[in-house]
Structure 1
Amino acid sequence: MSADTAAFSYDGGRVHPGETAHIRYTVSETYLGEPVRMPVTIINGVEDGPTCFLSAAIHGDELNGVAAVREVAHEWDHTDIAGTVVCLPVVNVPGFVAQERYLPVYDRDLNRSFPGHPDSTSSRRIAYDVWRNFVEPCDFGIDFHTSTRGRTNAFHVRADLTDHGVADLVEAFGANIVFDGEGQSGMLRTEATDRGIPTITVEMGEAHRFQREFIDQALAGVHSVFGAYDIEPNATPARPEWRTVVDGWAEKTWIRADAGGIVEARFEPGDVVHEGETVCEISNPFKTESVEMTAPFTGLLVGTLENPVVSPGNPICHLVELSPETRERIEAQRVPAAAD
């Protein structure tokens, strides 16, 4: 393969094999006509291999993925990288600057705007430039997210397991919890997968902060993928100790407050809760009256409230059903999975 055919090209530049480029790519303009520029790092290995993207902060206040992608781009040794790694640590630059989930002013969700359009809304124009230059040339991708503000997520993957390429990517990433589904129209993972670029979403923790535990889990997943796809010759694909897939059969619900007050949680994300157990207690300021919220079925807590005050109807925690086999494995101190 010649140097030209192995180069990674984008509007305005080209990164040749053996090169790493740190660029600020213009995706929009401010009211003053100044450029809005997205940071991008492109690592093109000397050896031939797949091209992948790692993206974060499509929702501007979701920061754990920002730390993970930056660490891959700037702290990992890329000497022996095979293929090309496209690092997009902050996709939604206006939202990131404002520390808001959506694009400011127009309040549009950038993650419902892909693959975008050059003659449409501001969000779809940004999505189009990101898509055409940095997503469309790739063979697969990993998109990092957190919960929205005021809530937190257990570490899990969202993916369309009916797509064989996505299923392989999920297996390589090695997460314990997988939500199986196509996703919504306009989502980066949905649109990329539909166009032959298998992509998964990684959900981890909460907005507006760095959480080292989740960042390290994300980096371990990327290492595992790089090993499985021969991007890093010395990386070893991971095998999780246990796994549960939440799909159409699984019952799932947000447990919502039946009273207003202050919440005292009994469990954390990732815990198994049995049917009838008290998930939390809601009490008034004097603790003279309280309401216990119980689990309607045995399941795994994958999301919980962070702000411990509620009104009736507010979501408190997200509970998903586990298969009996998975429940037994988790409760048996997470016995390692048997080798194939």
Structure 2
Amino acid sequence: MQRSRIWTEIDLQKEGKTTGYLRVPISTNESAYGWIPVPIASIKNGSGPRILLIAGSHGDEWEGQIMLIKLIQSLQSDDVRGQLIVLPGANAPAVEAGQRVSPFDHGNLNRSFPGDPNGPPTMMIAHFIETVLLPGCDLVCDFHSGGGSLEYLPSTVVVSSKSTSQLRRDLDLMRVFGLPVGFATDGSTGGDRSLTGACDRLGGIPCLSTELGGGGTASLGLLTAAENGLARLLHHVGLLAKAPEEPQSGSIRLLYRVQPKEFVYAPANGLFEPLVNLGDTVDDGQDAGRIHFTDEPWRKPIPVYFGVGGVVLCRRFLARARVGDCLFNIGRIWSPDTIADPIEQSQ
């Protein structure tokens, strides 16, 4: 694969703690020979696992960004064994704009892998991550939330594994992290253009993701739970030298997210009124909400229904909705005792 055009003052082979920028070249009306700064930190201390932590693939998902910014400031090289690489705002233009996608190229970083070294900025960033940062990694953590438009149950997330050993490994990572819910997906929302797809191309690097709430805000309780979970996970895989003070929490609720064709979508433009809450258990065909019409307030609202039942895993946070906007998605109970693929269980 062609060499990346991104350069950096960071020496990823250097021992100790180093911080700086990936420099993504741009040429615009305002800056003929400019570069976009993407913050990066490397904390390296001898032999041990190589771990990559990423947040800000979607610029309006704040929780993971806050968590990784704090982690960069708190950790020193003596705290680790091996190497920790941190991208707290991976799609930096989207982060700066507070938007899901980049204002430079409308690029969604988690739909841009394997990228293109000669493409627009988002594609160049994806290419650098896949060709420079991912090779040699023992674990990748990709921190997401519902962003400005959605809200999720606090969850760890894995893509449905391709083998029994991978499934056991993923379950172990989810349980150590210890958020209240862990769910599996079929990966269809991102496919092989997601970071998980990149990890698969490089030999199946373990990749644990999250959905840390959303709604364009950050919760103190959830941030604390996620920070404690990450500390436990980094110690579990041998990177953190000192065991975290916060013990592992109790059991987690395991779900699999239904496929996108079974999400609930807005059938019309209007104001969305939800009739259920996150975490509620719903039945097939149950009322999900209503779409009201501000331009015709005398018109009866259009009801929307759940096609399949389960646990309300995600809801639209914004009241204003347009045709095709996702209003809800559902998680169904995943019983991994048989170590069966959760997506196959759903058929």
For residue 234 of structure 1, what is the aligned residue in structure 2? 243
Q: Name the stretch that deviates more: 169-178 or 67-76.
A: 169-178
Deviation, structure 1 residue 91:
0.8
1:38-90: per-residue Cα shift (whole Å, max 9, x none)?
A: 111111135x3201011011122222210111122113576432221111101
Cα distance in structure 1, aligned partners of 2:247 and 2:134: 24
Picking from 4, 11, 14, the partner of 1:13 is 11
1:189-242: per-residue Cα shift (whole Å, max 9, x none)?
A: 221133132212212222643333332332232122112212223137735423
1:278-307: per-residue Cα shift (whole Å, max 9, x none)?
A: 443555666894555454443111111112
Cα distance in structure 1, aligned partners of 2:35 and 2:160: 36
Structure 1 residue 256 and structure 2 residue 256: aligned? no
Structure 1 residue 243 and structure 2 residue 249: aligned? no
For residue 223 of structure 1, what is the aligned residue in structure 2? 231
User: Does the 8 Å CA contact 1:159/1:166 hold for their aligned counterparts?
Assistant: no
Cα distance in structure 2, aligned partners of 1:325 and 1:38: 39
Picking from 255, 277, 281, the partner of 1:272 is 281
Q: Structure 1's 211 and 268: CA in aligned 2 closer, same or farther, altered over 3 A?
A: same
Q: Aligned pairs, how many?
A: 314
Structure 1 residue 27 and structure 2 residue 34: aligned? no
Computed over aligned residues only, the root mean square deviation of the Cα atoms, in angstroms, reads 3.3
For residue 182 of structure 2, what is the aligned residue in structure 1? 177
Cα distance in structure 1, aligned partners of 2:114 and 2:37: 19
For residue 106 of structure 1, what is the aligned residue in structure 2? 105
TM-score by length of 2: 0.76
Cα distance in structure 2, aligned partners of 1:271 and 1:92: 33
- Say which SS state the counterpart of residue 65 (structure 1) adopts: helix
* Matching residue's letter, 2:255: V
Cα distance in structure 2, aligned partners of 1:130 and 1:251: 27
User: Does the 8 Å CA contact 2:315/2:328 hold for their aligned counterparts?
Assistant: yes
Q: Structure 1's 45 and 11: CA in aligned 2 closer, same or farther, altered over 3 A?
A: same
For residue 187 of structure 1, what is the aligned residue in structure 2? 194
Pairing 1:116-155 to 2, within 5 Å after superposition: 116-155=115-154
For residue 334 of structure 1, what is the aligned residue in structure 2? none
Pairing 1:254-333 to 2, within 5 Å after superposition: 254-257=263-266, 261-275=270-284, 278-283=287-292, 289-290=300-301, 293-310=304-321, 314-322=325-333
Deviation, structure 1 residue 268:
2.6
Cα distance in structure 1, aligned partners of 2:134 and 2:39: 14
For residue 51 of structure 2, what is the aligned residue in structure 1? 52
Picking from 207, 213, 219, the partner of 1:211 is 219
TM-score by length of 1: 0.78
> What runs of 5+ residues in structure 1 fail to find an aligned partner?
1-9, 327-340
Pairing 1:43-82 to 2, within 5 Å after superposition: 43-45=43-45, 48-76=47-75, 79-82=78-81
Q: Structure 1's 137 and 101: CA in aligned 2 closer, same or farther, altered over 3 A?
A: same
- Say which SS state the counterpart of residue 205 (structure 1) adopts: coil
Overall identity of the aligned pairs, in %: 20
Deviation, structure 1 residue 325:
11
Deviation, structure 1 residue 187:
1.1
User: Does the 8 Å CA contact 1:39/1:90 hold for their aligned counterparts?
Assistant: yes
- Say which SS state the counterpart of residue 38 (structure 2) adopts: strand
Cα distance in structure 2, aligned partners of 1:316 and 1:139: 36
Q: Structure 1's 80 and 96: CA in aligned 2 closer, same or farther, altered over 3 A?
A: closer
Cα distance in structure 2, aligned partners of 1:38 and 1:313: 33
Q: Structure 1's 238 and 28: CA in aligned 2 closer, same or farther, altered over 3 A?
A: farther
> What runs of 5+ residues in structure 2 fail to find an aligned partner?
1-7, 338-347
